[in-house]
Amino acid sequence: MNNESPFSAEYNIAGATEPQPTVQETISLDEINTTNDIITKIESDYNLSKPRRKILRARIIKR
């Protein structure tokens, strides 16, 4: 059996292994957090497209 990599040498990454279940799990959690961030951003943008009120107060300074 020929153990030679089907890829040319420049594509071989030293120490590369098959994906491990724990690694996969960590990535999934990261993805969930990213998704939640995106959802939060979309929801805040969604509300930004509504009219909003702004009240300004300033003290008059006499010269």
The binding site for another protein (CB under 8 A) comprises 46-60
CA-CA distance, 47 to 41, in Å (whole number)? 10
Q: Give the residue with the Cβ less far from another protein, 54 or 63.
A: 54
HSE of 23 in the Cβ direction (CA atoms, 13 Å)? 4
Q: Give the residue with the Cβ less far from another protein, 16 or 61.
A: 61
Q: Determine contact, residues 24/17, Cβ cutoff 8 Å.
A: no
Report, in Å, the least distance between residue 44 CB and another protein. 12
Report, in Å, the least distance between residue 39 CB and another protein. 16
